[in-house]
Chains A and B, each alone.
Chain A
Amino acid sequence: MIAGVSTEFNPPGPEDFQLPPIIPGVDWFTKPVLVAGLSVVLIVWFFYGASRKSAIVPSKLQFAGELGYNFVRNSIARDAIGSQDYMKFVPYLCGLFFFILLNNVAATIPLVQFPTFSHIGWAYSAAILSWVIYNGVGIRKHGLLGYLKLQTMPAGVPLWLLPLMIPIEFISNIVVRPISLSLRLFANMFAGHILLLVFVLGGEYLLLHAGSIALSGVGVITLLMGLAIAGLELFVQCIQAYIFVVLSAQYIGGALADEH
């Protein structure tokens, strides 16, 4: 390869997440909107198909649907909210879990390859929804003052320390929770996607454009590492969907609890 031909390597950055509209002129219809819409269609189709013909001996589809549903119902909702009133929240938690899961895993699916929640607005919306729900059910059960007392008076703290603890409890339970919920999801998806871009684009550049055999060899190793990173990311995508829903369920459980 001629030395002068090799072009400058442009490292990927946040601008790689600014995708053009799919249909020119329709500015709101971007790839994340398309992926989120497709995920909703897929989830509705899957659970409708799984529950349409409920049989005692389940079909494969029904079995898969029940497996997913029971996972959210038993090991997330019931454990976190308690067996008294968890059933009310299972539809929300189940829908939330599969929506986040599918939109995260979309980053790994070939041709789609974009995590919806790497656009922070999506993460904010999901967190605000959970925030409104856990505060709403708490206020409805305890009344506004009772709920504030529940969320700001930590149990087991000596009386003289209580005035110092109340601000901490208030800030962390009412203010920090939705922020950390959304930032954790957003940052994991954003960082994972950009990490993959670095490995794949960097590997491709080293392999084809760097202009020496040794660097091409490094490029092959980089691409193989990228493959390993993609596997790690698949794991992170599932974990993040799980932790978002577990925390939402725990916040609901905490808001409904009689005392800590």
Chain B
Amino acid sequence: MSQQEDPKPTPNTSGDGWRVLSYLIGGILIYGGIGFGLDRWLGTQFLLPVGIVLGAGLTILLLHFRYGQS
């Protein structure tokens, strides 16, 4: 094949949506998990939902910095 090697090909972005999904799962998992652990430790009940919302919010912020500015 005498195909021209493009030095800077356009990046393949077809997997970006799936990567965003794995960020969202990761963020909710880690902060929800921390909230769940603190609930078990301190005997409270409100830290799991707080952790889940915090994790989701932080992940969206992270995605904004990561993908939103290019």
Number of interface residues of A (CB under 8 A): 36
B22, A172: Cβ atoms closer than 8 Å: yes
User: Contacts A79-B10, A155-B66, A161-B61; is A176 near B15 (CB within 8 Å)?
Assistant: no
A168, B12: Cβ atoms closer than 8 Å: no
Number of interface residues of B (CB under 8 A): 31
- Across the A-B interface, how many residue pairs have beta carbons closer than 8 Å? 88
Tell me how far the C-beta of B3 lies from the nearest C-beta in chain A, rounded to whole angstroms.
8
Q: Cβ of A80: which chain B residues have Cβ within 8 Å of it?
A: 11-12, 15
Q: Cβ of A70: which chain B residues have Cβ within 8 Å of it?
A: 1, 3
A168, B58: Cβ atoms closer than 8 Å: yes
B12, A75: Cβ atoms closer than 8 Å: yes
User: Contacts A243-B18, A250-B12; is A180 near B62 (CB within 8 Å)?
Assistant: no
Tell me how far the C-beta of A96 lies from the nearest C-beta in chain B, rounded to whole angstroms.
14
Tell me how far the C-beta of A259 lies from the nearest C-beta in chain B, rounded to whole angstroms.
12
Tell me how far the C-beta of B5 lies from the nearest C-beta in chain A, rounded to whole angstroms.
7
User: Contacts A156-B66, A247-B18; is A66 near B61 (CB within 8 Å)?
Assistant: no
Closest chain A residue, CB of each to CB of B25 = A176
B66, A180: Cβ atoms closer than 8 Å: no
> Out of B8, B12, B25, B62, which one reaches A154, CB within 8 Å?
B62
Tell me how far the C-beta of A249 lies from the nearest C-beta in chain B, rounded to whole angstroms.
8
Closest chain B residue, CB of each to CB of A66 = B1
B18, A184: Cβ atoms closer than 8 Å: yes
Q: Cβ of A228: which chain B residues have Cβ within 8 Å of it?
A: none
Tell me, in angstroms, the Cα distance from A49 to B53 when the chains sit together.
56
Tell me, in angstroms, the Cα distance from A175 to B5 when the chains sit together.
35
Interface presence of B9 (CB below 8 A): yes
Closest chain A residue, CB of each to CB of B66 = A154
Tell me, in angstroms, the Cα distance from A75 to B19 when the chains sit together.
18
Q: Cβ of A250: which chain B residues have Cβ within 8 Å of it?
A: 12, 15, 19
Tell me how far the C-beta of B14 lies from the nearest C-beta in chain A, rounded to whole angstroms.
6
Tell me, in angstroms, the Cα distance from A246 to B11 when the chains sit together.
11
Interface presence of B7 (CB below 8 A): yes
A157, B65: Cβ atoms closer than 8 Å: yes
Interface presence of A60 (CB below 8 A): no
Tell me, in angstroms, the Cα distance from A7 to B26 when the chains sit together.
48
> Out of B8, B14, B19, B26, which one reaches A171, CB within 8 Å?
B26
Tell me how far the C-beta of B12 lies from the nearest C-beta in chain A, rounded to whole angstroms.
3
B29, A83: Cβ atoms closer than 8 Å: no
Residues of B33-70 whose CB lies within 8 A of A: 55, 58-59, 61-62, 65-66, 69
Interface presence of A165 (CB below 8 A): yes
Interface presence of A177 (CB below 8 A): yes
Which A residues are closer than 8 A to B by beta carbons? 66, 70, 74-76, 78-80, 83, 154-158, 161, 164-165, 167-173, 175-177, 180, 184, 242-243, 246-247, 249-250, 260
> Mind listing 12 A-B residue pairs with CB under 8 Å?
A70-B1, A74-B3, A74-B9, A80-B11, A154-B65, A155-B66, A156-B66, A161-B58, A165-B58, A168-B58, A171-B27, A249-B12
Beyond the given A172-B25, A180-B18, could you list 5 further A-B residue pairs with CB under 8 A, ordered by the A residue number?
A: A157-B65, A161-B61, A167-B31, A171-B30, A250-B15
